[in-house]
Amino acid sequence: MLGMWKTNAPDEFVSVKFDMEMREGSSPSDGASSTPNSSGRRRNSAEAKEGLGFIMCKRLVQMMQGNIWISLNPLASAQSMTLVLRFQNRPSYGRATFAPGSSSEQPSSNPQFRGLRVILADDDALNRAVTKKLLEKLGCEVTAVSSGFECLSALNSAENSVRLVVLDIQMPEMDGFEVATRIRKVRSRSWPLIIAVTASAEDNVWERCLQMGMNGMIRKPVLLQGMADELQRVLQRAGEGL
Amino acid sequence: MERTRLRRQVALTRQSLFDQGFLDEQFIQLEDLQDDANPNFVEEVVTLYYRDSARLITNIEKALEKNSLDFNKLDGFMHQFKGSSSSIGAKKVKAECTLFREYCRAGNGEGLPHLSVQGLNGFAWIHTSCRCTRTFQQIKKEYATLKRKLEAYFQVVRQAGPAETACWPK
């Protein structure tokens, strides 16, 4: 790939164009062929260059609202291939620029998160303060509690207005797994959604989370972008009815 | 003029904390969370850290004074302490905590093979305990140093006053 352009039109979509130069003597593996006898039928010279693989690619790219074509040089052999892809603009989570003591502009939060009611359960006061602030930064409305018991009773009194529970797994007395099990006994798998927070680096933690009826997992240390990504993923899956 | 000088001092002090390895990116995450609604968030969190972890330090000290060390218990305390230290970006403290936990695991027969329980005779047992104790002294030292440095840093921050933000004229 030798060149890339992006349109600056401030619309819903962004187009990215790739220009690939094809040098003398080399040919793309499944693309245009330069042998003149690839097809017996008379076609225009551009089509004669397109092998089956290329046609399939072209179809797929066009289905994705992009385009791909081959430019020929004066000798009618393939010179360059151009691919245009179109992407939908998504809201970004800009990180505030840091300067000592600066009060930063609010990072743009995903509208999906705005007003999202969350219960946060973590026995560690420090982690609770930081994660709560982080969720509020993303636009959520957070109730922070310090134990599994408090979490369950907060959920009961809130009835159905809480969309998401963010749960530290390693809590004394009642750990996150037990809380999730108890929640799922009386509530559906997607309301409220449950995201586990764990310090563990073990692979099977995620499986266990799933078994207990959780919808997502995030590893400590909890980062703004990490939480935003996992929240988005979990909400999206819930929206798709999974 | 004075303000500019103070601001520059804040920036330099802050940078040196990173350059000298006292703080890591997690501290920046905290700074990112600070805003007009919570203009002193970072200082508040750090204060919370020192208040909360004082209790953990006392627990670990007590546990280390016992004749036979309960490595499981020690590891549990240290797991918590490491987690908190990690949350504020306390890089050196965190590193010493990791070392401590490795010695705990060795004391339990897991982890470092050259300190495994199979080979442990009385001497090796004492050796591991000594290492835990010594590492803990190191942790306390780094912990206290960081506290001093951060206190000095926040003092300058307060002196420099709130930063002006560019905003459209109302």
Residues whose CB is less than 8 angstroms from the CB of residue A91 and which lie 6 or more positions away in sequence, other chains included: A108, A110, A111
Residue B165 lies in a domain: no
Query: What is the 3-state secondary structure of chain A?
Result: CCEEEECCCCCCEEEEEEEEECCCCCCCCCCCCCCCCCCCCCCCHHHHCCCHHHHHHHHHHHHCCCEEEEEECCCCCEEEEEEEEEEECCCCCCCCCCCCCCCCCCCCCCHHHCCCEEEEECCCHHHHHHHHHHHHHCCCEEEEECCHHHHHHHHHHHCCCCCEEEEECCCCCCCHHHHHHHHHHHCECCECEEEEEECCCCCCHHHHHHHCCCCEEEECCCCHHHHHHHHHHHHHHHHCCC
Within 13 Å and on the Cβ side, how many CA atoms surround B21? 6
Phi/psi for A230 (5° steps) reads -70, -40
Residues whose CB is less than 8 angstroms from the CB of residue B16 and which lie 6 or more positions away in sequence, other chains included: none
Does B164 touch chain A if contact means CB atoms closer than 8 Å? no
Residue A90, token pair as written in the block: 């998504």
Q: Mean pLDDT over residues B128-150, rounded?
A: 91
The two most distant CA atoms of chain A are separated, in Å, by 79
Q: Percent of chain B beyond pLDDT 90? A: 59
d(C-alpha A180, C-alpha A214), whole Å = 7
How many CB atoms are located within 10 Å of the residue B101 CB?
21
Does B152 touch chain A if contact means CB atoms closer than 8 Å? no
Cβ-defined contact of B45 to A130 (cutoff 8 Å): yes
CATH number for the domain including B77? 1.20.120.160
Residue A9, token pair as written in the block: 């039109």
Residue B168 lies in a domain: no
| Domain count along chain B | 1
Query: Complex ipTM above 0.90?
Result: no
Within 13 Å and on the Cβ side, how many CA atoms surround A52? 2
Q: Where on the phi/psi map is residue B109: left (φ > 0), alpha (ψ -120 to 50), or beta? A: left
Reported as a single tens digit per residue, the pLDDT across B51-66 is 999 999 999 999 988 8
Residue of B33, B82, B94 to mutate, testing the A interface (most A Cβ within 10 Å of its Cβ)? B33
Compute the mean pLDDT over every residue in chain B, rounded to the nearest whole number: 85
pLDDT of residue A110: 73
**How big is the A-B interface in CB pairs under 8 Å?**
82
Residue B166 lies in a domain: no
Residue B50 lies in a domain: yes
Query: What is the 3-state secondary structure of A160-186?
Result: CCCCEEEEECCCCCCCHHHHHHHHHHH
pLDDT of residue A107: 47
**CB nearest B48 (choices: A102, A125, A134):** A125
Residue B167 lies in a domain: no
Closest alpha carbon within chain A to B35 = A103
Reply yes or no on whether the pLDDT at B123 is more than 80.
no
Give the β-pairing of A67-72 and A117-121.
unpaired
Bigger pLDDT: B108 or A49?
Answer: B108
pLDDT of residue B114: 47
Residue B153 lies in a domain: yes
**CB nearest B52 (choices: A98, A106, A126):** A126
Reported as a single tens digit per residue, the pLDDT across B14-50 is 999 999 999 999 999 999 999 988 899 999 999 999 9
Bigger pLDDT: A48 or B96?
Answer: B96
Residue B169 lies in a domain: no
pLDDT of residue A3: 56
d(C-alpha B116, C-alpha B109), whole Å = 5
Cβ-defined contact of A98 to B31 (cutoff 8 Å): yes
Residue A158's alpha-carbon distances to A68, A112, A134, A171, A197, in angstroms, are: 54, 20, 22, 22, 22
Look up residue B161 and give its amino acid: G
pLDDT tens per residue, chain A (242 residues)?
455 565 555 556 677 888 887 765 544 444 444 444 444 344 444 554 567 888 888 888 888 878 888 887 777 777 788 888 877 766 555 444 444 443 444 444 577 789 999 999 999 899 999 999 999 999 999 999 999 999 999 999 987 899 999 999 988 889 899 999 999 998 888 899 999 999 877 778 888 898 899 999 999 888 999 999 999 999 998 887 65
Residue B43 lies in a domain: yes
Residues whose CB is less than 8 angstroms from the CB of residue B97 and which lie 6 or more positions away in sequence, other chains included: B78, B81, B82, B85, B139
- Its domain, for residue B8, covers 2-30+39-160
> For the stretch A171-184, what's the b/e string if a residue is b when 16 or more beta carbons lie within 10 angstroms of its beta carbon?
beebebbebbebbe
Cα three-residue angle B155-B150-A125, rounded to 5 degrees: 110
In sign, the C-alpha dihedral spanning A107, A113, A114, A119 is: negative
**CB nearest A223 (choices: B29, B39, B161):** B29
**CB nearest B163 (choices: A102, A107, A199):** A102
